[in-house]
Structure formats: structure tokens, C-alpha cells
Amino acid sequence: MAAPARERPLVTVVVLCHNYAHFLPESVESALAQTYEPLEVIVVDDGSTDDSLAVARRYADRVRIETQPNMGLERSCNRAVRELVRGDYFCFLSADDAFAPRYVERLWEALQRSPDAAYAYCRPLLFGAREGPMRCLPFSAYFLVKRTNFVNASALTARADYLAVGGYAEDLGQHALEDWDFWLRMLARGRRGTYVREPLLRWRRHDAGSRNPEQGERERAALDHVRARHHELAERMSDVRGRMYYALDFALAAADLALGYSRWPRLVRRYERASWRRYRRWHAPDAASRR
């Protein structure tokens, strides 16, 4: 059973906006409609040149509004968490995306069920130029390192853990994939996530594409760049045991896709805890001291 609202920590939703005036009302209203309490909403306008700031001010009685010269995504996120967020937990929401009303509630409940997790994430529901639920996976350190990112940037995250790893890297440049790089750094510090299967995040896909590369040479270059930054994690998992555990998690994930077992949160927790125990015993940076 979830703790009573008065005992819950404050959660901050950070709405990030740069020239998304047209979409901003839907995003802000979805944040304000959350069933979780206590909750605060901040709109960070990153030097927009359209009417974004004027639109944000329509909600001035219910949200905090922060303006700044254009700093880019990574610096905006880091400034928001470091200087503006008051909650013990927070989540980012792009101004062109939206949350289902129980987004924060469901992710908070998942963290309560997995108290060793630093963040909770869900499966995005694509809309716009592409539609339908996006493929996602229960948390596995082996997947996160050896495949590619499956944790979206709107995960409900402990502020202290975000700050402890230094937030988003600000030196990725054109390679982007800042969220994957961040979750890998969280992993390197012994912090994991937990999965909520419900598609509670509406993730807009644009006709002109998104900031992150999705295909072709740019994608390969970005993937290679992030992998090179975290090569030590991959090297620790390259032994026979690491390949075996990766294959085991892959088989369980395939069963999930076929059977939908992650509809039952208890099974998800068992999957994630077992995978995490294997990783912590054999492939975490301090694993040798525990064998």
C-alpha cells in the first residue's frame, strides 16, 4: 500500500520548453492533472523566440516559470535540478510531450516496491508522425550496457542521485544520446531503475524528426561515441558469465514480448532483482570484493 499523501516526498515536474508554444498547454496541463501529491510544476523556457513564455504565463498561478538565455538541453536540465527543483524526486517533461494523469503516481508506487531503485520509467506511447506503444524492457544492466538505451528521459528520478553523478554530460556535442550516457553513469555508481509497463508517457514524434538521431550514420556515430565513453562497463561484461547472463535476460525479455508477463508487477520485480543480483555479484565495479 502506498504511503499517505502527507508522508510522501515532494515531486517536481520540470517542463522543458524551447520554441514549443503550440504544444506547451497540453504538456503543462498534463503535469497539473497528476493525481500524485505533493507535486510542483516548473516551466523552464530555454530562450524561446516564439510565444512560449507568453503561453507559460497563462499558468503563472499554478506553476513556477523560469526563463534563461538559450543553454541547450543538457545545461537546462542540470540547472533545473541543481537550482530550481525543490522535490526529493523529479521528472523532466518535454513541452511537446504529455503525461497520463497517473504517471507520477504509478512510477512512485514502483519505487516503493523496489526501494533499492533510483528511478522508475515506463513504456512511451508514440503519437504524431508515428503512433503506438514503443518497445521497452524491464531493467537489466546487461541490456543497458550491451544493447542500447531503453529508459526514457522522463523517468521519475531521485534528485540526490542525479546530482551525485553530475547530471547530464555537457560534452557530448552533436552525438546526443545524453539520456543513455546518464543512465550508464548511474549504473557505474551502483544505481538501477525499475520498469512500469503501462504506456503513461505520450511521446510526440515530429515529421521533421527529433533531436536525437534515429537512423543512419548519425545514429551509428552516436552509439559508438557513448559506448567508447563507457567501454569499461562493457569489458567487465565480456566474459563467459556476462554473455550467459545477457542471453538469460534476453530470453526473459523475449518471453515478456510474447506473453506480456510484465503486466504483473511482482514478476517484473523478481526479474529485475535477480538480474541486478547477478550484476552486482559478478560485474559491478566492486563485485570482486563480494565474491
d(CA 137, CA 268) in angstroms, rounded, equals 10
C-beta of residue 75 within 8 angstroms of C-beta of residue 164:
no
d(CA 134, CA 124) in angstroms, rounded, equals 6
d(CA 5, CA 206) in angstroms, rounded, equals 37
Residue 27, phi then psi, degrees to nearest 5: -65, -50
d(CA 50, CA 205) in angstroms, rounded, equals 20
DSSP 241-291: HHHHHHHHHHHHHHHHHHH-GGGSHHHHHHHHHHHHHHHHHHTSTTGGGG-
C-beta of residue 40 within 8 angstroms of C-beta of residue 13:
yes
pLDDT value, residue 132: 81
HEC profile of 113-151: HCCCEEEEEEEEEEEECCCEECCCCCCCHHHHHHCCCCC
Give the mean pLDDT per block of 10 residues along the chain (291 residues): 68 97 97 98 97 97 97 96 98 97 97 96 87 86 93 97 96 81 96 94 76 62 89 94 94 77 75 95 82 61
d(CA 18, CA 95) in angstroms, rounded, equals 8
d(CA 119, CA 89) in angstroms, rounded, equals 9
C-beta of residue 13 within 8 angstroms of C-beta of residue 90:
yes
Secondary structure of residue 29 in the 3-state scheme: helix
pLDDT value, residue 262: 62
pLDDT value, residue 2: 52
- Report if pTM > 0.85: yes
pLDDT value, residue 212: 45
pLDDT value, residue 213: 43
Q: How far apart are the first and last CA of the chain?
A: 35
Q: For domain 10-285, is the CATH number 3.90.550.10?
A: yes
pLDDT value, residue 267: 81
Alpha carbon separation from 206 to 90, 157, 203, 215, 234 (Å, rounded): 26, 26, 10, 15, 33
pLDDT value, residue 222: 84
